[in-house]
């Protein structure tokens, strides 16, 4: 979550990225980016905590 200015107001919001393509040598990639989304802060935090596939849980 980050603070974005939307219509003159500050909102806690996020964007999501999905890796669509990556060359074998890592020199080129294609990303998909969503639009800025905002909503219920408590629900968003709970969903991120429970389902974030990139969350590093290793020490």
37/14: higher pLDDT: 14
Task: Please report, for the chain, the start and end positions of each structural domain, with discontinuous segments joined by +.
Answer: 2-50
Average pLDDT, the chain: 78
CB 2 within 8 A of CB 41: no
Q: Does the model's pTM come out above 0.75?
A: no
Question: What average pLDDT does range 29-46 have in this prediction?
Answer: 78
């Amino acid at each position: 979550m980050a603070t974005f200015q939307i219509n003159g107001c500050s909102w806690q919001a996020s964007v999501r990225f999905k890796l669509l393509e990556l060359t074998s040598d890592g020199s080129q990639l294609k990303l998909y980016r969503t639009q800025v989304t905002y909503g219920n802060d408590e629900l968003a935090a709970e969903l991120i905590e429970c389902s974030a596939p990139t969350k590093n849980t290793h020490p």
